[in-house]
Amino acid sequence: MKKSDFYFDLPEELIAQDPLLDRSSSRLMQLNKETGEVTHRHFREVLDLLNPGDCLVLNDTKVLPARLIGARKETHGKVEVLLLKRKQDDVWETLVKPGKKARPGDRIVFGEGQLECEILDVVEEGNRLVKFYYDGIFEEVLDELGSMPLPPYITHELKDKNRYQTVYAKHEGSAAAPTAGLHFTRELMAEIEAKGIRIAYVTLHVGLGTFRPVKADDILDHHMHSEFYMVPAETAKIINDTKAKGGRVISVGTTSTRTLESCGMEDGTVKECSGWTDIFIYPGYRFKVIDGLITNFHLPESTLIMLVSALAGRENVLAAYNEAIREKYRFFSFGDAMIIL
């Protein structure tokens, strides 16, 4: 299967640059995964598509303000450091730009010196292992000096950090938002639960894979970076109860999907677990846990559109994407949503 099998031509003006004022006012495309039939709705109408007894699974990871702009201590040259993965205490795997001159032993200063880091090593794919030095609490210093690590296709400045955060974000650790969840408001979630739909949470800290395009022509040659996930006992119980009673399990986002499919049993049940996953889902994959998916519109030739195609069929998905382009849906992180049932 080739990367080019998942290409579509997207006009640049359809890439959403700013979040909508009302999270739930985005558009929602309903895609029938069996027939490919498409229906156009608004996101708040998701309530009409969920049945009492269904279960929604959300990723409650919280995005770190992981983008730091500093200067080399020796030359004062500008440096960008993006936090990717905490290795131990104050040691992080990072993406440093420009990277060629970032050598072990170099030190970078941020702000007025409240934060400093030393490059310890060069690791996989040129990432840098760095150690941070500071006074006080690291998360508080990072919140003061860091900014949200928006994807490179978003060029507008984000005025409110919380708009790149779900309203239910809880566990800090992500380098990017689980963007399908950005459409939910607290009010909509309360209405969903009032209808008899259960809400369960998993955690997957989104890492480097979000920033990494598929380079191999044959998608089987693509390697996914591992990301840390957690499935609590309460979530496993809700999912297993839902399945036992004939309800549907609908994941919100590709990250929730990858988490559930990483820990799901062959009979579709889930157990409490945590660990690292590098699961790569593409057409031909047999889903064990999820019955439906709420997701955004993804980049051409990305692992995300491959996952969506595994659930609804490549031809159905590409036809739906072309329909979305004709109807001028907004794409990517701050864009519109799709529900696949």
To the nearest 10°, report the CA torsion of 268, 254, 337, 4: -110
The model's confidence at residue 225, banded by pLDDT at 50, 70 and 90, is confident
- One-letter amino acid of 23: R
What is the pLDDT, as a whole number, of residue 11?
Answer: 97
* Locus of tokens 């579709």: 268
CA 112 vs. chain centroid, Å, equals: 32
Question: How many residues does the structure list for the chain?
Answer: 341
Nearest to 256 by CA among 285, 227, 225, 234: 227
Mean pLDDT score, 56-68: 96
What is the pLDDT, as a whole number, of residue 100?
Answer: 81
Q: Are 58 and 252 in contact (CB under 8 A)?
A: yes
Predicted confidence (pLDDT) at residue 334 exceeds the cutoff of 80 = yes
What is the pLDDT, as a whole number, of residue 210?
Answer: 62
- β-partners of residue 30 are 39, 339
Predicted confidence (pLDDT) at residue 208 exceeds the cutoff of 80 = no
Higher-pLDDT residue of 149, 234: 234
Tokens for 70, please give them.
């500093």
Phi, psi (rounded to 5 degrees) for 297? -90, 130
To the nearest 10°, report the CA torsion of 41, 47, 48, 52: 160
Residue 2: other Cβ atoms inside 10 A: 11
Predicted confidence (pLDDT) at residue 133 exceeds the cutoff of 90 = yes
What is the pLDDT, as a whole number, of residue 124?
Answer: 81
pLDDT tens digit string along 237-292?
999 999 999 999 999 999 999 999 999 999 999 999 999 999 999 999 999 999 99
What is the pLDDT, as a whole number, of residue 151?
Answer: 87
Predicted confidence (pLDDT) at residue 197 exceeds the cutoff of 80 = yes
The model's confidence at residue 45, banded by pLDDT at 50, 70 and 90, is very high
Share of the chain above pLDDT 90, in %: 87
Share of the chain above pLDDT 70, in %: 99
pLDDT tens digit string along 82-98?
998 889 989 999 999 99
CA atoms within 13 A on the CB side of 305: 26
What is the pLDDT, as a whole number, of residue 85?
Answer: 86
pLDDT tens digit string along 11-27?
999 999 999 999 999 99
Predicted confidence (pLDDT) at residue 209 exceeds the cutoff of 80 = no
What is the pLDDT, as a whole number, of residue 101?
Answer: 81
Predicted confidence (pLDDT) at residue 61 exceeds the cutoff of 90 = yes
Q: Are 233 and 269 in contact (CB under 8 A)?
A: no
Mean pLDDT score, 71-80: 89
- β-partners of residue 55 are 198, 249
